[in-house]
Chains A and B, each alone.
Chain A
Amino acid sequence: MNSDSLTRAFLILIRRDLMLAVRHRAEMANPILFFVLVTSLFPLGIGANPALLQAVAPGVIWVAALLAALLSIENVFRSDFEDGSLEQYLLSSHPVSVLVLAKITAHWLITGLPLLLISPLLGILLGLPVDAIKVLFITLLLGTPVLSLIGAVGVALTVGLRKGGMILSLLVLPLYIPVLIFASSAVDTAAAGLPVTAHLSLIAALLLLALSLSPFATAAALRVSLS
């Protein structure tokens, strides 16, 4: 198999998943709505004191993003598992890790990108200064792919289970913690007017690590789940 056909397969798979998402357009709104709703619960829960909201905003928005990502990542393999397409990836002559990467990329475009685009609105809702909103955007740009990549391993391990969703959170949330820490502190630091290159480099490093390891771990996990 040459790299030409591999690239073609990669792109066709992404395109196919995007087409499928568009044919279920209504469902694409769910992660965004969840993200906005959860974030809005906090002022209701802890009071609308602007200084308090601004102080908790980075953590709150990022926790909401984590939960929205967790909720939607289950779908990355579920429908393929149910109609038998998933085992076809394992039987393809192309490396499964590349096909998996295509699936995750498509999934991020469908669920992660919208979160990213709506985040400035949430920053405004909680009173973040403009500089902090810019950094929030960048942390989500770098961080949500990491969430998709890590989440994919968890989904691959549990896709064959009847109640897989329950233990998915247990498997995946602890692994999300480093991204949460670096991202929310980046936004915090930006709100204080300080430079954030160190924080962003750390998130970028996590992204590179996840990009290089997650497809293989996910492929291995899929083989186990489908055997």
Chain B
Amino acid sequence: MTQIKNTAALAAHALECIRDDRMLFSHLEFRLEPGSALVLEGRNGSGKTSLLRILCGIRLPDGGSVTWGDTAIDKLGPDYLMHMAYVGHRDGVKLDLTPLENLAMARALGMPNEITLEDALEKVDLAGFEDVLTRNLSAGQQRRLALARLLVTDTSLWILDEPFTSLDVHGISVIEELLDAHTTAGGMIAVTSHHAVNLQNTTVQRINLST
């Protein structure tokens, strides 16, 4: 696997998030280096999704800042976005397109990499479903298609919100392998999950938002 060239780290400084009058978290600090993973844990409603969305830049923090390579992400704009990919609660795929068409769109929106779309589908165990309408795939297959988006662009930071939703045991291990391969190649991952996240070859930081 080609080594990812990025050396910038993602860092959070004194991050604060308020929702519906509740302070979900404050003074949150962490640093995520290339080649490692950040696992966010916490009860439902503890702000895991909000934190991930703040890291993406979709949601503005109520205090503090997020930096990429020591520059604030809101100043970087596209120079940050081109290095990251996000798979949230919703899959981000159109049900009335085929997997190939969906991946083509995902690739067009970001920086394309070398892998063919068919190979990307194979890596998430969707080989043979290239031309089936996404609507006709099972929930687990749709989720894997959503995660296949990560493979078709050249990104070092993957931000994933409950990636294992709807996946069976086999699906989970397929995805865990991909995550491992990504960090081994020098990428970084920020992930929330109700399931235990088993990454064999990666340094893992855990942050629990319920404390």
Q: Which residues of A does B touch, CB under 8 Å?
A: 1, 5, 8-9, 12-13, 16, 19-20, 23-24, 79, 82-85, 87-95, 99, 223, 226-227
Chain A residues near B60 (CB, 8 Å)? 227
Q: State the CA gap A73–B38 with chains docked (Å).
A: 41
Q: State the CA gap A227–B59 with chains docked (Å).
A: 4
CB interface residues, B 97-114, toward A, < 8 Å = 97, 101, 104-106, 108-112
Chain A residues near B105 (CB, 8 Å)? 12-13, 16
Chain A residues near B93 (CB, 8 Å)? 83-85
Closest A residue to B104 using CB positions? A12
Interface SS majority for chain A: helix
Contact between B91 and A83, CB atoms less than 8 A apart: yes
19 extra interface residue pairs, beta carbon distance < 8 Å, beyond A13-B108, A84-B91 = A1-B111, A8-B108, A9-B109, A20-B96, A20-B97, A24-B96, A82-B90, A83-B93, A87-B88, A87-B92, A91-B85, A92-B109, A93-B81, A93-B109, A93-B110, A95-B78, A99-B109, A227-B58, A227-B59
B102 to chain A, nearest CB (A): 9
Chain A residues near B104 (CB, 8 Å)? 12
Chain B residues near A223 (CB, 8 Å)? 58
Interface flag for B95 (CB, 8 Å): yes
Number of A-B contacts (CB under 8 A): 78
A-B contact pairs, 9 of them (CB 8 A): A1-B82, A1-B111, A16-B105, A82-B90, A87-B58, A87-B92, A90-B58, A91-B84, A93-B109
Contact between B58 and A16, CB atoms less than 8 A apart: no
In this complex, which of B93, B109, B110 has the most chain A Cβ atoms within 10 angstroms of its Cβ?
B109
Chain B residues near A79 (CB, 8 Å)? 94
Interface flag for B27 (CB, 8 Å): no
| Given A1-B82, A227-B59; A83-B101 close (CB under 8 Å) | no
Chain A residues near B81 (CB, 8 Å)? 91-93
Interface flag for B86 (CB, 8 Å): yes
Contact between B94 and A9, CB atoms less than 8 A apart: no
Closest B residue to A93 using CB positions? B82
Contact between A84 and B89, CB atoms less than 8 A apart: yes
Interface flag for B12 (CB, 8 Å): no
Q: Which 9 A-B pairs have the closest CB atoms?
A: A84-B90, A93-B82, A84-B92, A92-B109, A12-B108, A9-B108, A93-B78, A227-B59, A23-B96
